[in-house]
Structure 1
């Protein structure tokens, strides 16, 4: 009886491991479909798991099966939607790493150590020492992080959001570092460090989530509240020009109506390699804002304009001379001017 029970327990344990492996492979494959760069950490993780597993052939078969099935389904779905054969991961790799025009660098070039000198310090700030302490006792996780960052440094364009996929691992290292400090230091003193760290991050998080750069979202609330409510009876057609760096506001996430047209300065890269010395529409506009604004207004029937105070101060003479538009409202955006094209206030102008 005891032997049978042990056999049943062993069988249940084996089936649980098998199903959990399949679930793991499915989630890894799904993450690759959602964002191909998520495969980078698993270049280290999979060989280690393969080394540790007792049934390597089964592990490989499950991984291969899940990956192939999900990706074939994804390729067929994308190809159907685009009406031509489309393999997104290959396109992603080509556009970001092998395109002759270096498409990713179109959106900015950073130095090779940017993730170490800017990315991680900006995200973790004074919590970096805890990560360093945690990495000493967790070499495997540290190797995964270093390998992922190394691959990212090969791309000229770098962003904070690229680090999101290794943030959970970094949090684990931070927790190990805090645990090490709590054992080595007196808890009565160390707990105040943890408390102040939590309070500090709470205020920082609240400020950057609720206050900083909120004008770029509140302007859409403003437009939806004023234009849509006023237009329900008049049935006018509005055309709003956002004279800002591209993708500064959420646009159609807030307003999606046939009687309100949203226009913005585009920043598409030179994908087709047709134009030499290519400059996108947004860069062309900000190089000569006054001339570009006059040309844009002459060739369009814009009813409203939205721009940062930085641009308004450069082109306000155009509105004073021609009396085309007047300032309808001014919205707060940020206490800090983040870039040369993003301002602290947002001007909303209406045609006379």
Structure 2
């Protein structure tokens, strides 16, 4: 079996450049498609640590962005939101220049960050392939396998186009890894030769330029996510111990220069965003380690990254990645020609072990914390995959590799199913509800202009959900949508005893919903609104004192799990269900189980929803009746079908049913199917004649969706059409039944 780095063919430099450009364009189109098919919720940080501060940067503090406690205490770098703030400004400028309607402009503002992140994800995929070409060869099976594994990975489809800082960190990391001077860690490079000829000097300059670009990007990744320093500290340590003092001095000098440049840019950006001089990475470590606030969001077992993190990242590629990791670290037999490639794989395997090990020492763990390792794991998984599946692909005529082919098809199908379910179906309702509220605002409010003054009036919405269960202004878009939700501020500057008994607002609500609503809603449970706010005068100021945190909204949003609790509490109110959408079939948080439900005060909207539900139920009953009739027809008319077959055959002159059944005298156990037996075509033709005799001609009308007619029956499928695909199977079973009766 040829190794993974065996090139399939040689290509000219011009062909290589064209191929790389085409691959990049394909990846951009692929990830844009990925971004627009992603309709599910994953992590609140996708919105609250990127898009919400970006919205405030782009449009101002008065436009309703939700700024969480991390931003108030300067724990996050403003560099990541600045990217999306620029995207928002460009989208707003485009919408204004093209004079787009408010609804179209809102859709553009929702979609533009997805496109931007899709391009970022495509760049990450492209540089994963580029680094694989450094290791396995420009046009090798290993490099193409790495690209295919990256594209088929369900986690990549599910997560790479989300606006998480971890996704940008992953892309920056793989680009920087491609620029890293691996020659320094391999024990020799052109830059270390004593010969100072012209070629060596040019290679030295190119290597130094690549190092500077790498360090700039790695410093940026560490500013975005301080844990990224584990990767670069590991690689720098290996380079330090494998080089002379000349290289060490160069490395220290470039680290100081590039690191200082990125720190200066970050400090200026944070000064403009926060209004004071601050250093977010240091404050991030202080709050999460010194004050242990990360534990407030959950504790995990020490083996989390091994038992859950890596399986979630790699799914079906887990075994090849572990095999590649083991073989890379244990195989020491390599030739001098592939020394650089082997040492590169060893260093990639090393960072894939060091980073999870160190992060396992922290109580709070999440799979996305080790996301930057995924490209390296894909590269390591490529060689075992090539060795196992390549013979099944390239030797198609051999039946010996059929199990490998079937396994490959199975793995691809499993990846596709997981990707579809997690990106389209699971936890989709919490995004759909934001689209619904935006559409209701457009339907009920005449002035839907963007970024209007605070005097403009829109709909109101309240979310009785665990904190950060939905996106916020990035999906509500309109600043005049007045919305509130339960919060979950951590116990900052609390003592250990106070932290032990601390309950945030969401916890207080789920501890006792009735008492919470009585104490924290304007008017309690006795004075509830009767009409939506967009049809009435402003609320009574006497009900908005400091004691009350929330106003009763036009739309009350909650998960289905809470429905039995709210129904008795609000049975005397004017709130009724006006919308419902599927969210998920299961959830690890019991508070988030079931559909997402919206109750509203608008009676017209309630009536419309009830009528829609009634029509849906009628359609369901009609479908159940039709399928039941078909089933009953099959069971009830078997004997009559047999009789019709006999009568039809008796009227036929050319062929008959009797000639298909051997007589009792000619029946033989040793030769049950003699040469006198008819062909399949003849048996099928006879069967169709028998069915036609009983049912009439084969129905031609199945669906008439394209025909405009007031007759509703023309839109309903003829139940007989469902028998058409069962003719042959049922005919065979009837014929065998008849033969058993004759020969018994």
Would you call these one fold, judging by a TM-score over 0.5?
yes
Provide the secondary structure at the position in 1 that maps to 2:506.
helix
Larger radius of gyration: 2
In structure 1, the partner of 2:595 is: 345
- Choose which of 57, 60, 65 in structure 1 pairs with 2:252: 60
3-state SS of 1:254 partner: helix
Equivalent residue for 1:308, pick from 551, 559, 577: 559
Please state whether the residue corresponding to 1:227 is helix, strand or coil: helix
Q: Kindly tell me: are residues 126 and 59 of structure 1, through their superposed partners in 2, closer, same or farther at Cα, counting changes over 3 Å?
A: same
1: CA distance, partners of 2:493 / 2:307: 34
* 1:44 alignment partner in structure 2: 234
User: CA 1:33–1:233 in structure 2 vs 1: closer, same or farther (change >3 Å)?
Assistant: closer
Provide the residue aligned with 2:579 in structure 1. 329
Q: Which residue of 1 aligns with 2:483?
A: 262
The RMSD of aligned alpha carbons is 2.3
2:355 is aligned with 1:148:
yes
Please say if 1:195 is aligned against 2:419: no
Maintained 8 Å contact 1:267/1:281: yes
| Shift of residue 292, structure 1, vs aligned partner | 1.4
Alpha-carbon deviations, 1:6-46, whole Å to 9, x = none?
93332221211111011111110111111111111222111
SS of 1:328 mapped into structure 2: strand
Q: How many positions carry a matched residue from both structures?
A: 344
Q: Hey, what does 2:370 align to over in structure 1?
A: 163
The superposition leaves residues 148-176 of structure 1 with CA deviations (integer Å, 9 ceiling, x where unpaired) of: 11111121111121121111122122223
Label 1:329 to 1:86 Cα distance change in 2 as closer, same or farther (>3 A): same
CA contact (8 A) 1:133 1:176 kept: no
Distance 1:196 1:69 in 2: 49
1:18 pairs with 2:242:
no
Q: Where has structure 1 moved over 6 Å in runs of 4 or more?
A: 183-186
Spell out, residue by residue over 1:179-200, the C-alpha distance to the aligned partner (whole angstroms, 9 max, x if none).
3434799765434433321221
Name the SS of the counterpart of 1:347 in structure 2.
strand
Q: How does 1:170-209 map to 2 (within 5 A)?
A: 170-182=377-389, 189-209=403-423
Matched, 1:217 2:454: no
Q: Which residue of 1 aligns with 2:516?
A: 292
Which structure 1 segments of 5+ residues have no match? Answer: 1-5
Say if 1:242 and 1:305, in contact at 8 Å, map to a contact too: yes
Unmatched runs of 5 consecutive residues or more in structure 2: 1-195, 330-345, 393-399, 449-455, 525-547, 603-744
The structural deviation recorded for 1:264 is 0.9
Distance in 2, matches of 1:77 and 1:251, equals: 24
Aligned mates of 1:318, 1:203 — CA distance in 2: 41
The answer as to whether partners of 2:316 and 2:415 remain within 8 angstroms in 1 is no
Q: Which residue of 2 aligns with 1:3?
A: none
| Separation in structure 2 between the aligned mates of residue 75 and residue 114 of structure 1, nearest angstrom | 35
Answer 1 or 2: which has greater strand percent: 1
Q: Quick one: distance in 1 between partners of 2:321 and 2:372?
A: 16
Q: Greater CA deviation, 227-236 or 85-94?
A: 227-236
For normalisation by structure 2, the TM-score amounts to 0.44
CA contact (8 A) 1:96 1:104 kept: yes
* Structure 2: distance between partners of 1:232 and 1:201: 46
